[in-house]
Amino acid sequence: MELFQSIPQGLLTRVGEDGLNLSGGQKQIVALLRALFTKPQLLLLDEATAALDPKTEKFILNLLIRLKKDMGILLVTHKESTAKIADEVYEIENGTCKISNKLLITP
């Protein structure tokens, strides 16, 4: 992955306290990789691709597609491109929740 190839010491690079030397997108990737290291049964992601460039977003989405065979993934997003990888999509708008364009819950 380019994140680790672009820094001199790769995975051994010190990133500073609270990831001071990382961009927002790099911090998101590190957080995702740390979560995956524990091999969770359920992976909870909130705006996991929000600060990523298109190439890195595509990499992460392809990774999530492969991972969803082995674990549950609950992904919160505002991006249609991210929602497209989901098996089920719940849309919340004005206090109403819909699944696959069918009304699920009303206030």
For 55-95, how does the pLDDT look when each residue is reduced to its tens digit (9 = 90+)?
889 989 999 999 999 999 999 998 888 888 888 888 888 88
Residue 83 to residue 90: CA distance in whole angstroms: 9
Give the count of domains, the chain. 1
Question: Which tokens sit at 39?
Answer: 């091999």
Distance between CA 67 and CA 19 in Å, rounded? 26
Tokens of 79: 């991006």
Q: Write down the pLDDT at residue 94.
A: 85
* Percentage of residues in the chain having pLDDT higher than 70: 73
In a domain? residue 62:
yes
Indicate whether 68 belongs to any domain: yes
Q: Is residue 5 part of a domain?
A: no
Asked whether residue 53 is domain-assigned, the answer is yes
Q: What is the CATH number of the domain that holds 82?
A: 3.40.50.300
Domain that holds residue 93: 23-105
Taking alpha carbons only, the member of 30, 38, 28 closest to residue 13 is: 30
* Helix (H/G/I), strand (E/B), else coil: 91: strand
Asked if residue 60 belongs to a domain, the reply is yes
**Is 4 inside a domain boundary?**
no
pTM: 0.72
In a domain, residue 49? The reply is yes
- Does residue 86 sit within a domain? yes
The C-alpha atoms of residue 17 and residue 56 are separated, in whole angstroms, by 24
